[in-house]
């Protein structure tokens, strides 16, 4: 049994299962328990934490619902591969969303260039004929594993300022805090496509594997389109969450 598992302190006002859940979550996120590593058995955790089986199962159920663990019949509970979960009720960057879940997110710039935009990009950004854009191509990492190739297109008045900047983090905070552009909302569409050679290379995929492609058009608060993106995710590393109401 992993010796990082400790008996939960008895002075917390939180329910025992919440304390156990939070303790296990911390150990999963900080790497004490590695991906696909087996967690202690229910009996081992009952002894370690001094609680009942139902309390352990409540804690594990929450971790299952968060996607942090999975169970194999007759073998136990194992740590899941990290999966980026983004809630589309709020406009936020990849790093912002992942930091809130305790993950480490980063980016590596593959290229930044001035170019003639593809037709779909030009139409989405309301560009005139002959206008050019700045394309920023990056690989996004979750806990240092590549999960996404990101192609972002910006009008010239925004993109030209990016050549001298550190683009290893989220661009949304940069637009707001450095450029003084208040963000409004975004239009998002999803589809599944086969990974091309670039995606296979940078996301460690095999030929014929599918990826989740997200198209996102972000507007400033006045409704002007300022950022068009293709976000191509490994299918096993990302999930969008929606909430819809019947009205």
DSSP symbol at 13: S
Residue 46 and residue 162 in one domain: no
- Which contiguous run of DSSP H or E holds residue 147? strand 145-155
Q: Which domain holds residue 44?
A: 16-79
Burial readout 25-57 (b: 16 or more C-beta within 10 A, e: otherwise): bebbbeeebeeeeebbeeeebbebbebeeebbe
Residue 227 and residue 115 in one domain: yes
Tell me whether residue 9 is in a domain: no
pLDDT tens, per residue, the chain with 247 residues: 443 444 455 567 888 999 999 999 888 877 788 888 999 999 999 999 899 999 999 999 999 887 788 888 888 999 887 666 766 677 888 888 777 777 788 899 999 999 999 999 999 999 999 999 999 999 999 878 899 999 999 999 999 999 999 999 999 999 999 999 999 999 999 999 999 999 999 999 988 899 999 999 999 999 999 999 999 998 877 777 777 778 7
Question: Taking a C-beta distance cutoff of 8 angstroms, is the pair 42, 5 a contact?
Answer: no
**Structure tokens belonging to residue 66:** 């968060």
Residue 107 and residue 227 in one domain: yes
Tell me whether residue 247 is in a domain: no
Question: Taking a C-beta distance cutoff of 8 angstroms, is the pair 107, 163 a contact?
Answer: no
pLDDT at residue 13, as a whole number: 82
The strand order across the sheet containing 133-142 reads: 105-115, 133-142, 145-155, 225-234, 210-220, 183-194
Residue ending a domain, among 79, 104, 127, is 79
pLDDT at residue 8, as a whole number: 54
- Which residues are CB-contacts of 220 (< 8 A; sequence separation ≥ 6)? 181, 182, 183, 184, 226
Give the count of domains, the chain.
Answer: 2
**Structure tokens belonging to residue 174:** 């940069």
**Structure tokens belonging to residue 85:** 């979960």
Tell me whether residue 103 is in a domain: yes
Compute how many other C-beta atoms are within 10 angstroms of the C-beta atom of residue 192. Answer: 9
Q: What are phi and psi of 145, to 5 degrees?
A: -105, 135
Residue 203 and residue 225 in one domain: yes
Residue 47 and residue 100 in one domain: no
CATH assignment of the domain containing 62: 1.10.10.10
pLDDT at residue 4, as a whole number: 40
What gap in Å lies between CA 219 and CA 223, rounded to an integer? 5
**Structure tokens belonging to residue 19:** 């304390």
- Please identify which residue in the block is written with the tokens 């900047």: 165
């Amino acid at each position: 049994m992993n010796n990082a598992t400790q008996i939960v302190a008895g002075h917390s006002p939180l329910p025992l299962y919440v304390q156990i859940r939070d303790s296990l979550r911390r150990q999963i996120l900080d790497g004490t328990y590695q991906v696909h590593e087996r967690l202690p058995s229910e009996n081992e955790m009952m002894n370690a934490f001094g609680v009942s089986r139902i309390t352990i199962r409540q804690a594990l159920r929450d971790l299952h619902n968060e996607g942090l663990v999975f169970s194999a019949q007759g073998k136990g509970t194992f740590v899941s591969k990290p999966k980026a979960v983004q809630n589309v009720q709020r406009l936020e960057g990849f790093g912002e969303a992942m930091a809130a879940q305790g993950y480490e997110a980063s980016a590596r710039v593959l290229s930044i260039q001035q170019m003639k935009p593809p037709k779909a990009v030009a139409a989405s950004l309301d560009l005139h004929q002959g206008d050019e854009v700045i394309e920023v191509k990056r690989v996004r990492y979750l806990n240092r594993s590549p999960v996404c190739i990101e192609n972002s297109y910006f009008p010239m008045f925004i993109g030209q300022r990016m050549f001298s900047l550190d683009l290893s983090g989220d661009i949304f905070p940069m637009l707001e805090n450095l450029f003084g552009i208040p963000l409004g909302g975004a239009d998002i569409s999803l589809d599944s496509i086969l990974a091309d050679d670039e995606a296979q290379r940078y996301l460690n995929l095999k030929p014929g594997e599918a990826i989740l492609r997200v198209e996102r058009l972000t507007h400033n608060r006045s409704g002007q389109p300022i950022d068009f993106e293709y976000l191509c995710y490994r299918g096993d590393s990302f999930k969008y969450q929606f909430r819809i109401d019947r009205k």
